Structure 1
Amino acid sequence: MGEVWLAEDEVILRQVAIKILKQEYMGDPSFIERFRIEAKHAAMVNHEGIANVYDYGEDSGWAFLVMEYVPGDSLARILERDKVLPETKVMDIVAQTARALYAAHEAGLVHRDVKPGNLLITPEGQVKITDFGIARVADQVGLTATGQVMGTVQYLSPEQATGKPATPSTDIYSLGIVAYECLAGKRPFGGDSQMIIAMAQINDMPPALPVELDERVRKLVMSCLAKKASGRPENALILAQRAEALLPTAPRSQAATELIEQIKQVTDRTTEIATLTDTAPQPTQPIVWPWVAVIAVLGLTALSVVVAIIIGSMTPVPSPTVTVTTSSQPSVTSSGGPTAPTPVTVLLADIQGKPISEVLTALTEKGLVAEAIPGTKVALDDPKDMTVYDASPLGNMPEGSSIKVYYYVVDMGEPAPTPEVTQ
């Protein structure tokens, strides 16, 4: 929709990015309005993880945005080059993006177009979200409207694909798709047309992530991809905290900034902090973030060890669980030999009516090989959609057993033929 140019602000002598609406779209009022909305929405949120918009203007038949220049590459280009990213890097991207999204959600905005192309990564690893152009008009845009959401259906949430209003949980689902793509090297759903992909977003379970990945990482990403919003992390802040808990070191995030006041109160460690300040290495490259961010980074450098200690003590908010019981009988043999595998008990009452994503996660945690089977069809607004109604086998079974889980799916009927456009 737009072209981005690097420019120099001759008044305050800083580099900026200028996004110019392509000339072919200038005759369409809806595109011009989307451009204006992008400027207004980005200005509503002040967060280090969201690219600033400094100005908007229209002149001589052109519309343009003056934005913060973010050095680096988009995540889309990084994935084109590297295909797969390390799980710690992915969790860092998820944590930073989720915190920025939470700030937008608190301001009353839902991005609705979270995808790799809208996530910029600086050389220092900071994430910046861009393009709030459809944050308010997404519900007015048809799924196949040319030039609007074409090409982004791979990241649409099930509720967007069915025409329901987008919520903050919509952004969590899209971020889950991004994380899945970073870890697996491909998107979970594909197809030859937007309609096929949209139907997969609504009805299909995503393929399992590679087993080589940390199980906690796999569980977190798959929880974001729950078909129902109730099965996803409660909000973007909780998602960020859970991702940060999986990082080996303290994340570069707003949480660290919020802890500075707590650190100042630890008076018995004044000498140690002073020593760390004297010996901490100084950056050798100039940082091109806005000066406010520079001050925050320099302040955190002196206190990094203490921040890491405090953040390390934080625990993520537990996610909803499905109860799957195990046998209480002793597993040690009478001869005192090695412990035998604990049998797993699955009762229909424990899983019936629960979201399929939660049930699959719980069964997998208990050592079972669970397969989701779409079964009985229900109406589009039926609350039973994507919930479990049966499984086979049930009862006691050894670890490693296979179990089929049947769940309700929406009856979408046969898709209507696409009308031919007459020139």
Structure 2
Amino acid sequence: MAIAMAQINETPPDLPASVPEPVRNLVLSCIAKSPSDRPASAANLARAAQALRRGDVASAASAVPGILPHGASILPSDAATQLLPSAGANTAAATTVLPAAGLGFGAAGAVGAAATAEELDEEPHKRSPWTIPLIVIVAILAIGLIAMLAALFLNPRGGATPSPSASPSVSATPSATPTPSATPTANTVNIDRNAYVDRPFEDVQAELEALGVSVTLVEGDAAGTEEQVGLVSDVNPSGNVAKGTAVKVTYYTEMASIPAPDAPTVKSPATPVPQGATVNVQWPGYSKCPAGTALSGYTVSIAGAGGSDGSFNVNAGTTNYQFAADSTGPITVNYVAYCGSRNSDPSGDLTIPVTPTPTTPSPTATPGG
């Protein structure tokens, strides 16, 4: 954070005075804070560097204007004064500067041959427009981090108490001592709820009592399958509990019974039914399946109808059944409903009387006919 703020607000230190001023200005233009003060492209930077190697300050300034001192104007290339020694020149010779006639420094007057960087007017320090937004963002992140740490310490997961041995300082050797919430003591036992769920309640009761707690068995919801009857559904409390604590063990009870449906009725024909007629019986749609199950169908049982006797499966969307009354005498009809794979008790019996088919008397002979 300190480095980021320094890059925004602070200026880099000056290069040594032994570095020619155009070279210093070229370096400073490359790291200028405002993009407009930097070289327009890498090609411009290359041309400026090559021109300075040749001692051509005017050409270098044409490529990168920041090479000239603040307020100086660009000279024609033929009036440029070589600030860098050319190849093979005596490097010990004094470096000449641009003539005063070619430089404009405002009210400060002309710059002499011995002018240095310290004698030039420095541009007033300007605050970057990103300073305030960056400070606001850093402050928001700091507040969020503090809130998160406070939540973790004030509300530790699972209600566990933070270890008293914890310290803000970094320890070279981590402590191997477990926290008090995870280690049973001589007067407490650790009860893992997940270790007992879906096990027979008798086994769970025996194991918990062996740990030194008392067990209270509680009947819970009805089992959804036969295999689930008697299995533990919950253990409360769990975690580290004091010995002698009453622990409730809840288990699944017997499956809920499926009530018998209402008795069927005759839809047609009117009773008594003549022998040989087609009988249509009906019943109300069954809606008494226990929670967690759904109606899956019916089985209709018929007795006393002769060739129509037997049990017949009917799908869940049907509420009537037809059969032929082939025999005389009463016909008995009942049915069961299925909720999933389990069936209800049989409904009440429907008794249908059947009358014999009337016979047609044969004609008698007339005397004297």
TM-score bin, normalised by smaller chain:
under 0.3
| TM-score after normalising by structure 2 | 0.20
Higher relative contact order (CA 8 A, sep 6+): 1
| Larger fraction in strand | 2
Between Structure 1 and Structure 2, the one with more helix by share is 1
Whose radius of gyration is greater, 1 or 2? 2
